[in-house]
Structure 1
Amino acid sequence: MSRRDALPPLACLRAFEAAARHASFTQAGSELNLTQSAVSRQVKRLETDLGRPLFERSHDGLRLTPAGEQYYRVVCRVLRELADESARLRRHGNDHQLTLASSPTIASLWLARQLPDFQHAHPQIEIRILTVEDPYRLDLAEFDLGLYYYLENAVDPPGVLAEPIFDSEDVIAVCSPAYLSRHADVRDADDLLDHHTLLVVEDHFNDWLTWQAWYQGLGLEWRPPAHCLRVNSYQLLMHATLAGQGVTLGWSRLLEADLRQGNLVRALPHALPSRGRLSLLTPQHRHLTPAARTFRRWLLNEEA
C-alpha cells in the first residue's frame, strides 16, 4: 500500500469519532482517558493526513464541516463493524457464553431471580451479567442482549431493537411491612402526602416515573409531600424501601417476587399503566449467538 493510500491511525479515528459525537475535545478526552490537548493533536494529525479540516472550531465548541460529517458517518460504520467482528471472534468457539446487559436495579430485583429457571433448563450456557445504568451508554460490542425499561415514542438507544417482555405493567405505590409497623397505615392518597415519607429518585433516566405524574395520571390531587427522602439511584431507592424508610413507586411485574414473598406491600390500591415497558434490547446489524437466541426464545415464551 502506498503512503498516499495508507489508512489513518486507529487512535486518530477514535479521537475524531468521540470528538464529533460529543462536539467537544474535552468530553472526548474524558471518555478515552486522554487530555483535551491529546485529542486535539490526534484530530489535527488526521486533518493533516486527509488534507482538509473536519471541524469548525469556535468559542461555542466544535461543529463538523460538510467533509467532516461525511467522514464521521463512514468512521462510525467502520468502527462499529470492527468492534462487532472483534467481539464475534473473541467469542468464537464459545457459543455457549451469554452476556446480558441490564441496569443494577433490574439485575438485582428481577433478572437474578429469573436466571435459576433458565440455567436449570439450559445448564450448558454460561451467563455473564454486565450492569450499566443508562442504556444510552452501552457498548454494543460488549453484550449479547439487554434488559431495560423502554419508553415508546422516545429516542431509542442507538443500534438496538426493543421488544416488550410483558403485555402490560402497572406503576404502584409500595413500602415494606417494617415501615408500616413503625407508622400508621396509609389511609388514602391525601394521607400519604400529609403523614408519610415519599422516596424520590433524582435520576434523569427515570424522571418519567415521578410521584406528581402518578398522582395526576390517576386524577388525584397533587401537592408537595410533607416528607421526602431523595436519592440519585433507583437501586438505592429500592434498598431504602425494603429497609423501611418510606413509600416509593415501582413496577408491579419487576417487584412481583418481593410482593409475593411479603418483602413489600402495596401502600395504596391505585395502579397506573406504566409508560415504560421492561424490554429486551437486541443489537441490530449483528447475528445472535446460539446462546442469545435460546435466551430470547425462553424469555419471550417462544420455546417450542
Structure 2
Amino acid sequence: MRTLPPFDALVAFDTALRHRSMTRAAAELGMTQSAVSHRLRRLEAFVGTPLLSRSSDGLRATPAGAELASGLGELLDGLADLRGRCRALVTPAGLRVAVGSALADYWLVRRLPRFTRAHRKLEVELGIVENELQARAADADVQILWQPIEAARSTSTQQLLFHEQVFPVCCPQLLPGGRMLRDPRALAELPLVHKGPPGGRGQGAEWSWPVWFERLGIERRPPTGLRFAALGTAIAAALEGAGVVMARSLLVHDALTDGRLVRVLPAKWDMPSSKAHVVRWPAALGSDQRVRSFVDWLAAEAKSTTKA
C-alpha cells in the first residue's frame, strides 16, 4: 500500500516556492496565510524535515525542499492535464472557458457574441475562477488567468494576452467639466474607492493610494472611503458615482470609450500592472480546433483592445 503525501500540502508547497512568499501563495490559492503555513507544516511532518527557509529576498527551498520540488511542478501540471487528455479521446459538444469575474463582466462578455456568431455550431460555456486553486479544479478546456508578470510568459500551453496599466478613474460628474484634473494634487479632495484589504496586503504598489499620493506630491494621507474585496465591485461602485477607483486599463477600456468613466490623471502617471493575463489550455488539447479557434480569436481581440 502506498504512503502518499497530502496533496493539498504539495500544492501549497509548490505555490509558496514559486512565489517565494507565503502572502502571495495565499492570494493565489484563495486562502489565508495561516492556512498555507498549516499545510506546509503537515507536509514537513510527513517528510520529517524542514522544506522551506526564509532569507532576505523571500522563501528558499532547503536541500530536502529542492529534492521535493524537482519534478513536482511537472507532476502537478500533468495531473491538471489529465482531464484534457481524457476529453481529447471523445468528441466534445462545446467549449468550456474559465475566467475571472471582473474580466468576464467588463470585457469578455461584450465581445463573446462575435465569436459565437462566427462559430455557430460551437456552444461556449463560461465559468468563473478567481484563484489558482479554483483554476486547477475547473472543468475547463481554456482558462484565462491573471498571473504575476514572471509567470505570464508564452509557452506551449499558454499565451500572453496583454499587459495592463493601472490608473485612477471615476464617473464624469465627479470632475470639473467631466475632464481630467489640471492639478494632480486636487485628487486629495475627491472621494476614494479602495480595493483589497487595508495596507494593500498581497497587492502590488500600483494599487496603493498612499503610493499614488506620494508620487503626486500630496502630503496628507488618503481619505477613508468605501472598500471592496473585489476590483469588479469597486469599479461598479465608481460607475455609480461612489468615488475615484484605481483600475486596470483593460477592465475600464469600454467604460472610458463610452464615456461612463473618465481618467482622473494624464496617462504619464499610469503605473504598469505587476500581473498580466494569459490564456492557458491542456497540452492534450493543443491541436484541438475548438481551442485553437478560441485562443486565436481571443488574442486578436486583446490586440485590438490594447491598440484602441
Same fold (TM over 0.5): yes
Bigger-Rg structure (1/2): 1
Deviates more, 1:90-99 or 1:240-249: 90-99
Which residue pairs with 1:190 in the alignment?
185
Secondary structure in 2 matching 1:300: helix
Cα shift at 1:17 = 3.1
Counterpart-to-counterpart distance in 2, 1:131 and 1:140: 11
* CA shift in 2, pair 1:78/1:249, >3 Å: closer
The 5-angstrom pairing of residues 263-282 of structure 1 reads 263-276=260-273, 278-282=276-280
Which residue pairs with 1:220 in the alignment?
216
* CA shift in 2, pair 1:149/1:115, >3 Å: same
1:199 and 2:193 matched: yes
Does the 8 Å CA contact 1:100/1:143 hold for their aligned counterparts? yes
Does the 8 Å CA contact 2:84/2:282 hold for their aligned counterparts? no
Does the 8 Å CA contact 2:144/2:280 hold for their aligned counterparts? no
Does the 8 Å CA contact 1:84/1:141 hold for their aligned counterparts? no
1:183-237 deviation line (CA, Å, top 9, x unaligned): 99955321221x2111121254543332344455xx5213323453322221221
Does the 8 Å CA contact 2:102/2:251 hold for their aligned counterparts? no
Which residue pairs with 1:50 in the alignment?
none
The count of residues paired between Structure 1 and Structure 2 equals: 270
Secondary structure in 2 matching 1:268: coil
Pick from 112, 116, 120 the counterpart of residue 113 of structure 2: 116
Structure 1: runs of 5+ lacking an equivalent = 1-5, 45-52
Letter in 2 for 1:301: A
Identity %: 24
Cα shift at 1:294 = 0.6
Counterpart-to-counterpart distance in 2, 1:65 and 1:54: 12
* CA shift in 2, pair 1:222/1:136, >3 Å: farther
* CA shift in 2, pair 1:113/1:205, >3 Å: farther
Pick from 92, 95, 98 the counterpart of residue 95 of structure 2: 98
Deviates more, 1:138-147 or 1:236-245: 138-147
Secondary structure in 2 matching 1:222: coil
Does the 8 Å CA contact 1:196/1:227 hold for their aligned counterparts? no
Pick from 169, 172, 197 the counterpart of residue 174 of structure 1: 169
Which residue pairs with 2:294 in the alignment?
295
Counterpart-to-counterpart distance in 2, 1:297 and 1:226: 44
Which residue pairs with 1:54 in the alignment?
47
* CA shift in 2, pair 1:212/1:136, >3 Å: farther
Counterpart-to-counterpart distance in 2, 1:185 and 1:66: 55
Secondary structure in 2 matching 1:275: strand
1:98-147 deviation line (CA, Å, top 9, x unaligned): 33332221111111111111111122222222322234753176433333
Counterpart-to-counterpart distance in 2, 1:233 and 1:133: 10
Letter in 1 for 2:277: S
Secondary structure in 2 matching 1:139: helix
Secondary structure in 2 matching 1:113: helix
Counterpart-to-counterpart distance in 1, 2:160 and 2:232: 23
The 5-angstrom pairing of residues 112-151 of structure 1 reads 112-135=109-132, 138-139=135-136, 142-151=139-148
User: What TM-score results when the alignment is normalised by the length of structure 2?
Assistant: 0.66
Does the 8 Å CA contact 1:161/1:281 hold for their aligned counterparts? yes
* CA shift in 2, pair 1:298/1:96, >3 Å: farther
Counterpart-to-counterpart distance in 2, 1:74 and 1:220: 47
Does the 8 Å CA contact 1:100/1:130 hold for their aligned counterparts? yes
Counterpart-to-counterpart distance in 2, 1:234 and 1:246: 14
Counterpart-to-counterpart distance in 2, 1:247 and 1:15: 39
Deviates more, 1:169-178 or 1:106-115: 169-178
1:260-299 deviation line (CA, Å, top 9, x unaligned): 2232122333444442365323247544232221111112
* CA shift in 2, pair 1:81/1:155, >3 Å: closer
Secondary structure in 1 matching 2:247: strand
* CA shift in 2, pair 1:74/1:249, >3 Å: closer
* CA shift in 2, pair 1:55/1:125, >3 Å: farther
Secondary structure in 1 matching 2:265: strand
Letter in 1 for 2:170: C
In angstroms, what is the RMSD of aligned CA positions? 4.6
Which residue pairs with 1:233 in the alignment?
230
